Structure 1
């Protein structure tokens, strides 16, 4: 597949914006500095006559959007003690144009780890100093059939999933000729960004401890080097019903509510991963959970907040307990972890981080080094739910995308999302990255365990 660069330039806000340094919140500080890419593919449209029409529509509307979302046109800089600061200097968003000599339908496999997916995603050069890295990088890909691909890569140090989708949807609306629907909240003081600590934390924040490593190893370096692969596993509405019955078997319905889709599905993935990885009985394992605190914190943070308002917590267990005990055990571990994220716990975590002199070590706990990216792999997992994010229907004036995909190429990364190809029939997609040596076993357990456990329950009910 031949790829040709056709243009590369910076898109800046269409009007003068506030210029200065903005403090990041503690959760921004401990998040990824790397970018999360997502890719949207569009078939040829009669609403554009030339390639220039597409480029002009995208760049002009982007320039107008950046007037409202001007922090995204800035750059990060490092401060003493490992903290980061946002320089709102309107330096701009990097916009590149490339050309493929193939048709859209010839792409074939568009799994997150495929070669085609990597060609369609914007490239960020992390060898450059952090103050030179754009926070948003966009790649417009032209296909020989007239179709286009739009690759969007945004820094996780300045936004979370809801923030990113708010920006993308507003940009698309402006491209369609509409007015801005919701002005973003740019004040990070709602999470006490830049403030001094007020006191000591009230809770023990184990989520900031080093994650478990394999028994007999002293670090995760060896695991990081092993080849990985990605699977996109569809879970039908009927299979979800089976999992619901399995997870709630034996639950006291008078005192506890049924397990949610996330609790039972994440628990199922966790158990299957432990089986596939063939952990020893004494192996400790953790599952990282991203909790959106917008409706959990007081005062509440609006959905329009531009920043990281998602808090990572970890459920912990031994692999032996997860494998030997029923699914309800794993689901309950996840529920207990999420439920502890109360208003008091959230503010306590902020105070805990504010009391730290060096925050680099917290980024290193999860991500090891800046250049290597995140690692939540063997024996651990990170299960992120995108079930409520408006991932689909990004219309820039020529209709909705025909395909949307995203990055998932680190061992242990798991994403739950809806399946747009199934016309809202209740099906879900589990995107998971595991080491090659574990994936076949994981898929076998993932599907067979639902049927086997379900049959066991039916027999139990007949006895």
Structure 2
């Protein structure tokens, strides 16, 4: 299901102002981890939460409620109110001087219902509801800038839109959710957040001397570079975007095509990731001997052997890679792709994360490889719907954009949504060259159609 086209509207944004911690905080310099400060983390991720009006909140200004709770949350989370600076070896540290985060309030001639049934990113006209910072030559710097930008846009129905952009160096997606939930708890009257934040970045510092112990394909460009990658060469105006929903029927079709020994053990994520990787490679018509990759984010939280303290809000994940040739991927059936996905998913251990940290220091904090690579981030369990400032559950909660980072279109979010039948599904916003989208659809249909036998 799609969002409705918005009626003509105007957003009246006030002058952004700095919000500082509501009480004194430590003045110190804190080093980020060697997972936090890689080149691929040096951008702002953006999220949007849409709320309807609540009779219980009649007369209350959501901008004031959020602003006051934000100032209180910045006391325990005081590094978020600081500024990044770069030291020798491109090492990032946080100057914790209570410099503040940037906050703006706005009003829009819209109601929450005007957005229709928006289920997945991109959020309609998201540029109007998030607070951008200055770019330099098309790149948004992260040094000596606020680490968090928030805009609260009041709607004429009494609801509002909470739009945030936060520097990925300081938090990953679960860490950002932890901070936002802290703001919510304080907005709803709590004396303190239920989860106390923990810094803990020393867990992911490089060893001395650094000794990477894995190949780390995620940071090695495949042979041939990007010369043959249509995703790298196609202008933005020649790209098409479409959401694909994988509900119970589609998952059953994929599971039916899985090898018997994998049917009971493969997750919905693994099935969908394998399906899209294979279908995408076929649609982009890579040569049979060209290497193609699936790179996906593996969260270390809750994994055995990773000694994260409760309340850790930094980056705790790795990009794991499945790699093969386009000929083997497209000719090997879904089971071949599934085997590669499961193997890559299991590869991330604490030793692997330490090896990534070592590589960051040893090789100058490189950007992850992008050529002929499809990067997946599964946010279906991130808890966006639970961000409640007192106005109730979100109408929409999730990323503002369909993909972020160095090359939108290469990165996709897997999120939860309802399909036209009201069934829970995995929603994947796909971006491909226009002439590849129909072939992609045919490939997906062929893998998800259930056999009658």
Q: Same fold (TM over 0.5)?
A: yes
Gap change, CA 1:133 and 1:238, over 3 Å in 2:
same
- 8 Å contact from structure 2 (residues 148, 166) kept in 1: yes
Gap change, CA 1:405 and 1:306, over 3 Å in 2:
closer
1:436-463 CA distances to partner (integer Å, 9 max, x unpaired)? 3323332332234311xx32xx55xxxx
Gap change, CA 1:89 and 1:227, over 3 Å in 2:
farther
Aligned residues, how many? 434
Q: In the alignment, which residue of structure 2 is the partner of 1:123?
A: 132
Richer in helix (by share): 1
SS of structure 2 residue aligned to 1:26? coil
Q: Which moved more, 1:415-424 or 1:388-397?
A: 415-424
Provide the C-alpha distance between the structure 2 equivalents of 1:96 and 1:202, rounded to a whole number of angstroms. 46
Q: Pick from 101, 120, 124: which aligns with 1:93?
A: 101
1:270-304 CA distances to partner (integer Å, 9 max, x unpaired)? 01111221222222211111111233463521452
Provide the C-alpha distance between the structure 1 equivalents of 2:302 and 2:150, rounded to a whole number of angstroms. 31
Corresponding position: 1:22 with 2:30:
yes
Gap change, CA 1:219 and 1:102, over 3 Å in 2:
closer
Q: In the alignment, which residue of structure 2 is the partner of 1:40?
A: 49
Q: In the alignment, which residue of structure 2 is the partner of 1:372?
A: none
1:78, distance to aligned residue in structure 2 (A) = 1.9
- The within-5 A match list for 1:169-188 is 169-178=181-190, 179-188=192-201
- 8 Å contact from structure 2 (residues 238, 434) kept in 1: yes
Provide the C-alpha distance between the structure 2 equivalents of 1:303 and 1:311, rounded to a whole number of angstroms. 19
1:211, distance to aligned residue in structure 2 (A) = 4.8
Give the TM-score normalised by structure 2.
0.87
Give the TM-score normalised by structure 1.
0.85
- 8 Å contact from structure 2 (residues 83, 95) kept in 1: yes
- 8 Å contact from structure 2 (residues 20, 98) kept in 1: yes
Provide the C-alpha distance between the structure 2 equivalents of 1:237 and 1:98, rounded to a whole number of angstroms. 40
Corresponding position: 1:137 with 2:149:
yes
Gap change, CA 1:133 and 1:219, over 3 Å in 2:
farther
Q: Pick from 215, 238, 254: which aligns with 1:243?
A: 254
Q: Pick from 377, 381, 389: which aligns with 1:396?
A: 389
1:88, distance to aligned residue in structure 2 (A) = 1.4
1:76-133 CA distances to partner (integer Å, 9 max, x unpaired)? 1122332322221211111111222233333458563465222223313233754332
Q: In the alignment, which residue of structure 1 is the partner of 2:271?
A: 264
Q: In the alignment, which residue of structure 1 is the partner of 2:6?
A: none
Gap change, CA 1:307 and 1:419, over 3 Å in 2:
same
- 8 Å contact from structure 1 (residues 113, 230) kept in 2: no
1:424, distance to aligned residue in structure 2 (A) = 8.8
Gap change, CA 1:50 and 1:229, over 3 Å in 2:
farther
1:231-270 CA distances to partner (integer Å, 9 max, x unpaired)? 2222111321221221234x378xxx62222221100010
Provide the C-alpha distance between the structure 2 equivalents of 1:301 and 1:25, rounded to a whole number of angstroms. 13
Q: In the alignment, which residue of structure 1 is the partner of 2:439?
A: 441
Q: Pick from 311, 317, 324: which aligns with 2:318?
A: 311
- The within-5 A match list for 1:416-427 is 416-419=414-417, 425-427=423-425
1:171-192 CA distances to partner (integer Å, 9 max, x unpaired)? 1111111241110111311223
1:338-366 CA distances to partner (integer Å, 9 max, x unpaired)? 2222333332332233333x22xx13x55
Provide the C-alpha distance between the structure 2 equivalents of 1:39 and 1:229, rounded to a whole number of angstroms. 23
Q: Pick from 101, 105, 112: which aligns with 2:121?
A: 112
Q: Which moved more, 1:413-422 or 1:57-66?
A: 413-422
Provide the C-alpha distance between the structure 1 equivalents of 2:435 and 2:229, rounded to a whole number of angstroms. 21
Q: In the alignment, which residue of structure 1 is the partner of 2:402?
A: 408
1:210, distance to aligned residue in structure 2 (A) = 2.1
Q: Give structure 1 stretches of 5+ with no counterpart.
A: 367-375
RMSD of aligned residue pairs (Cα, Å) = 2.7
Q: Pick from 428, 444, 452: which aligns with 1:430?
A: 428
